Amino acid sequence: MESETRNADQITSKWRDIRLKCTEFGGIYNNLLNIRKSGSNDFDVFKAAMDQFEKTTPTRKAFPYMKPWLKLKDAPKWKEQTEGSSQSSGSKRSRNSDGTSQQSDGQTHIDINDDPIDLENDQPLRRPVGRNKAKEVASTSLNSSVMDMFGNKFDRYVQLQETKAEVMTQMEQKMIEAQTSFQETLQTKTDMEILKMKTDDLEGEDLELFQAMKESV
């Protein structure tokens, strides 16, 4: 049985991957949260973010770190990073509470070597009075509301995404096995053809070469 123990380099590499993918997903989620249509709920935004992540990321795979993201999303340091990321797509304009518009610069700087975020002690960031109340409530209450409001629906969706990723992995493995089997079959056919060949017309070096080929089969 393969050991599950990881060394420091493996842990650092895994944490980098979690932070990068969670930051990318958080940017997509926050952007969709800002532009969501009237009547849509938190789960609708979450599902749309999952779909967009899978369609737009280079790997074309489902977002793999849903549970870590739900813990990270409300950490103050994480909010500063992902809220900037949500404005980077297409340098879209956003509107302040006083009605004035501002242009985002389309850049988000994230230091993946920054100090680890304390998930146990960090409290959800409280916005100043006067900011968009609907956005504040949606942003700070997802951890509890998404489970309370959608319960089994959310769990089934998470399970579906995990199953989908597992099926894709199995399909890739089967394709590799099929290719290997095809190559083995082709090699066997070639070997049989060599064994059936007649040597009556061969002599000298040609005959020696053929005999060597037969011995290698």
* Secondary structure (3-state) at 21: helix
Q: Let me know if residue 198 belongs to a domain.
A: no
- Asked whether the beta carbons of 131 and 139 are under 8 A apart, the reply is no
Q: Let me know if residue 213 belongs to a domain.
A: no
Q: Which of 51-55, 130-134, 180-184, 202-206 has the highest mean pLDDT?
A: 51-55
First vs last C-alpha separation in the chain: 36
Q: Count how many domains the chain has.
A: 1
Q: Let me know if residue 120 belongs to a domain.
A: yes
To the nearest whole number, what is the mean pLDDT of the chain? 69
Which band of pLDDT confidence, cut at 50, 70 and 90, is reported for residue 150?
A: low
* Residue range of the domain that includes 70: 8-150
Q: Let me know if residue 95 belongs to a domain.
A: yes
Q: Let me know if residue 98 belongs to a domain.
A: yes
Helix (H) or strand (E) holding 114: none
Q: Half-sphere exposure of residue 102, counting CA atoms within 13 Å on the CB side? A: 9
Inform me whether the pLDDT recorded for 125 exceeds 80. Answer: no
pLDDT tens-digit series, residues 198-207: 666 766 777 7
Inform me whether the pLDDT recorded for 123 exceeds 70. Answer: no
Q: Let me know if residue 83 belongs to a domain.
A: yes
Q: Let me know if residue 59 belongs to a domain.
A: yes
- Across the range 148-172, mean pLDDT stands at 73
Which band of pLDDT confidence, cut at 50, 70 and 90, is reported for residue 1?
A: very low
CA distances from 195 to 126, 206, 207, 210 (A): 80, 15, 13, 10
Q: Let me know if residue 186 belongs to a domain.
A: no
